[in-house]
Amino acid sequence: MKSLSLRQLAGIACFWAIAIAPASGAAQTAAAAEPTSSTGPLSGYMDFHFNKADGEPGVLDFHRFVLLVNHTFSPKLRFVGEIELEHALVEGLEEAGELELEQAYLDFLLSRQFNVRAGMVLVPIGIINERHEPPVFNGVERPFVDTVIVPTTWFEVGAGVHGELGQGLRYRAYALAPLDALEFDAEEGIRGGRQKGSESDVRNVAFAGRLEYRAVRGLTIGASVWTGESSFATPRLDTTVNIGEIDARYRRDRLELRGQFAHVGISDAARLNDALARLTGVSPNIARSLRGFYGEAGYRFWNAGAPRDLVGFVRYENFDTQFRMPDGFLPLKEFDRDAWVVGLTHYPDPDVAVKFDYVRLRNQSGLLPTRHVLNAGLGWWF
C-alpha cells in the first residue's frame, strides 16, 4: 500500500476539520431529509378535470393553468404575481376561457403586527379564496358555496394592511374596488359583479376584512366581512352588498374537519331588478339575501406519506341564491340547492392530488331533476 505524504495527510486533516467543525456565528443549519424537488422563482398549479353528469356527455377540461412569480426587492419589500389561464383557451368570451391576473401586489413587510399590501390582491373571505391550490382541498371542483355565494377566485385592486396581533390572531383589512351590481344574477348571485381589476370603477370603495384565530394546534377559526356600495353605474340606486362569513378548519391525526357559513345581503334589490329590467327587458330576479353553508369531514385512510397518502371525504352543502327576495319578487326554487359530495384524494406526491368524487345536487323546484355527477381530477403544485 502506497504511504501518504505529510502534505496529503495535512490536506485530509484540514478537509475533515472544515467539514465537521461547527460554523462560526449565531446560527448554523443542517438538513436531515430525503432529496426534495427543486423550484425556482416560478411556481404554480394546474387543475385538469373530467366531469360526467347523468344524461350528458362527459367533459374533459384543463380547468386551470396558473403561474406564480415572485421577487424579493429586500427582506421587507416583495412582489408576488399570479396569472391564470382558465379552460385552456381564450377567445374573448368568459365562457370560452379566461386569462386573468389574479394577484400582482407589493408587500411592505414592516413588522409582525403591521404590514402594507397594494396591487391586485385576493379578497380575504372564506377558506378557499386564499387557499385554492388543488392539493389543499378535497373534491375535484371547489365547493358550491365557494362558487356561487363566495365567488372564488375573487380578486380586486386596492390596498390594505395585514399582520399578527399575538395570541394566535391574524388579520387582513383592505380597501378594494367594489362589485358591479349590474352584473348580478339569480343563479350565481354576485359572482358576475367582480370587476377583476380591469379598469375598475372606484366611485365607491369596498372594504374587506378577515380575522383568524389559531391558538390551538390544528384549529383555525376565521371570520370575514365585505361591504361596498355596488350601484355606481346607476347612481339613483343604493345597492350596497354586505357579506358576513365564518369558517373553521380542524385537523388531528388522521381526521380533517372544515365548515363554512356565508351570508350575502343586497340592499335596494327591488329597484336594482327594476333598473335591470328596463335596461335588458328581463328582470334578473336578484335576491336581497343569499346564504350558503357546508360541512366536510375527511379521514386519512392511508397515512404513511406519499405515495401512501389517501384521504376519503364527505361534504354536505346547502346554498340558496334566492334566500330572501325583495318585496314583490318570488324566489326561484331551482336556486335553492343542496349537495352531497363523496370522494377520495390520493397523493402520489405531497404536491400532486389525484381526485375522484360523486356529487348529488338537488334543488327545491320540483321541476328540475336531481343531478348526479362523477368527477375525476388531477391537480398539482410545483
Partner 1 sequence: MIRLPLLVLLVLVIAMIGPAPGQAPTRRVIEVTAERFEFWPTQITIDSGEEVEIRIKSDDTSHGFRIVGAATNVVIPKRGKGEAVALFKADQPGRYTFECSRMCGAGHNFMRGVLIVRDPSAAGPR
The CA distance from 359 to 365, in Å, is 18
Among 161, 154, 210, CA closest to 177: 154
Is 27 a binding residue for partner 1 by CB under 8 A? The answer is: yes
Is 304 a binding residue for partner 1 by CB under 8 A? The answer is: yes
Q: How does DSSP classify residue 23? A: P
Is 272 a binding residue for partner 1 by CB under 8 A? The answer is: no
Among 378, 288, 295, 377, CA closest to 339: 295
In the complex, minimum distance from the CB of residue 259 to partner 1, in angstroms, rounded to a whole number: 19
In terms of CB distance, is 58 or 166 closer to partner 1? Answer: 166
Is 21 a binding residue for partner 1 by CB under 8 A? The answer is: yes
Q: Using omega within 30 degrees of 0 as the cis cutoff, is the peptide bond preceding 134 cis?
A: no
Interface mask toward partner 1 for 193-222; x: CB under 8 A: ---------------------x--x--x--
Is 37 a binding residue for partner 1 by CB under 8 A? The answer is: yes
In terms of CB distance, is 11 or 369 closer to partner 1? Answer: 11
The CA distance from 83 to 12, in Å, is 52
Is 130 a binding residue for partner 1 by CB under 8 A? The answer is: yes
Q: Residue 147 CB: number of other CB atoms within 10 A?
A: 19
Is 381 a binding residue for partner 1 by CB under 8 A? The answer is: yes
Contact between residue 284 and residue 273 where contact means Cβ atoms under 8 Å apart: yes
Q: Considering only residues 59, 77, 165, 306, which one is a binding residue for partner 1 as defined by CB under 8 A?
A: 306
Q: Cell 422563482 appears where?
A: 41
Is 7 a binding residue for partner 1 by CB under 8 A? The answer is: no
The CA distance from 84 to 88, in Å, is 10
Is 93 a binding residue for partner 1 by CB under 8 A? The answer is: no
Is 11 a binding residue for partner 1 by CB under 8 A? The answer is: no
User: Which H or E run contains 91?
Assistant: none
Identify residues 148-177 at the interface with partner 1 (CB under 8 A): 162, 164, 166, 168, 170
Q: At residue 61, what are phi and psi to the nearest 5 degrees?
A: -140, 125
User: Which H or E run contains 9?
Assistant: helix 6-20
Residues in binding contact with partner 1, number by CB under 8 A = 62
Among 152, 30, 29, CA closest to 84: 152
In terms of CB distance, is 84 or 338 closer to partner 1? Answer: 84
In the complex, minimum distance from the CB of residue 304 to partner 1, in angstroms, rounded to a whole number: 7
Q: Considering only residues 13, 99, 255, 279, which one is a binding residue for partner 1 as defined by CB under 8 A?
A: 13
In the complex, minimum distance from the CB of residue 106 to partner 1, in angstroms, rounded to a whole number: 10
In terms of CB distance, is 1 or 93 closer to partner 1? Answer: 1
Q: Cell 370575514 appears where?
A: 224
Is 330 a binding residue for partner 1 by CB under 8 A? The answer is: no
Angle 280-282-285 from CA coordinates, rounded to 5°: 120
Q: Considering only residues 107, 180, 296, 336, which one is a binding residue for partner 1 as defined by CB under 8 A?
A: 107
The CA distance from 294 to 300, in Å, is 20
The CA distance from 207 to 230, in Å, is 12
The CA distance from 233 to 199, in Å, is 14
Applying CB under 8 A, which part among 131-139, 225-233, 266-274, 317-325 lies near partner 1?
Answer: 131-139
Is 74 a binding residue for partner 1 by CB under 8 A? The answer is: no
Alpha helices in 150-303 (DSSP H): 269-280
Is 103 a binding residue for partner 1 by CB under 8 A? The answer is: yes
The residues that bridge with 176 in the sheet, in sequence order, are 158, 206
In terms of CB distance, is 151 or 265 closer to partner 1? Answer: 151
Q: Reduced to 3 states, what is the DSSP secondary structure of residue 204?
A: coil
Q: Under the rule (CB under 8 A), what is the footprint of partner 1?
A: 1, 3-4, 6, 9, 12-13, 16-17, 20-23, 25-34, 36-37, 39, 41, 43, 45, 68, 70, 75, 78, 80, 82, 103, 107, 109, 112, 122, 130-133, 135-136, 162, 164, 166, 168, 170, 214, 217, 220, 304-306, 309, 349-351, 381
